[in-house]
Amino acid sequence: MKRLVKILSLLIVLAVLTAQQVGAADIKPKEIPLSGKVLETMDGGGYTYVNLQNGSEKVWVAIPLTKVKVGQQLSLMPGFEMKNFTSKGLNRKFDRVIFSGGLADAEKIEMSPSAIKAVHQGVPGAQQDAAKAAPAPPRAVAPAPLAKNQKVTKAKGPNAYTIAEIYAKSKKLEKKPVVVRGRVARVAQKIMKKNWIHLVDGTGSKAQKTDDLVITSKNLPKEGDVVTVSGILYNNLDFGSGYRYNVLIQDATLKK
């Protein structure tokens, strides 16, 4: 999670600094301290938006997707302000949003003054070079096919679904716990301190790309293992740079 926060923090800061285009060569964008009680929260477009009682004022803060509850006390990394920001994921315009890398106890990525100045002034190539330096989540790839007619027995329990059922009911299952059993087709290890697992169970449609389910977990299975996965389902997660997942189970636990 910490590496994910670091990478998204960098991309967020770069995007905010470029978008603002203040144009003053010797001005470093001001970091805004963020700490207080959560008054309201919502998720959209791969981010969590938090209405925070930050000292004497209420501010909207955007952070990488994080489980947050109303009434919770948060201490976040200092953020950068953007005015008149429209969130396409929420279809909502904010008069003011503070973009933060996330929880303060996560590792913070430091940008040198020269790097901030370069992006702040819109130096050609600065944003692209910084983005290339940060590894991105794995793209969805075609799963290794199961043997003909080979299916994995469906998990048991009230939250159990096949992969085909998860895709079919994904909107109703948004942010809800799900259990799915399948065979590990591929594993991308330790990307942003998570393992990215492709699961297949013999259901779904290859043509419609509903036969392969992507899961993130700290557990590390082997390709070919049959596992039962438990986690929270999210829809339409966009990590930027074209890395978008229509359906993703995050921070799951795996059992053989």
Domain ranges of the chain: 2-133, 160-255
Strands 244-255 and 213-217: parallel
What pLDDT is stored for residue 119 in this prediction?
36
pLDDT in tens, 99-151: 887 887 654 444 444 443 443 343 344 344 444 444 556 655 555 555 545 78
43 vs 237: CA distance, rounded Å: 10
Full DSSP string of 161-213:
E-HHHHHHTTTTTTTSEEEEEEEEEEEEEEETTEEEEEEE-S-S-TTTT-S-E
Cα end-to-end distance, the chain, whole Å:
24
Could you give the 3-state DSSP secondary structure of residue 85? strand
pLDDT in tens, 175-211: 999 999 999 988 888 777 788 899 999 999 988 989 9
11: alpha, beta or left, given left = phi > 0 and alpha = psi -120 to 50?
A: alpha
Could you give the 3-state DSSP secondary structure of residue 129? helix
Which band of pLDDT confidence, cut at 50, 70 and 90, is reported for residue 173?
A: very high
Domain boundaries 2-133, corresponding CATH code: 2.40.50.140
Domain boundaries 160-255, corresponding CATH code: 2.40.50.140
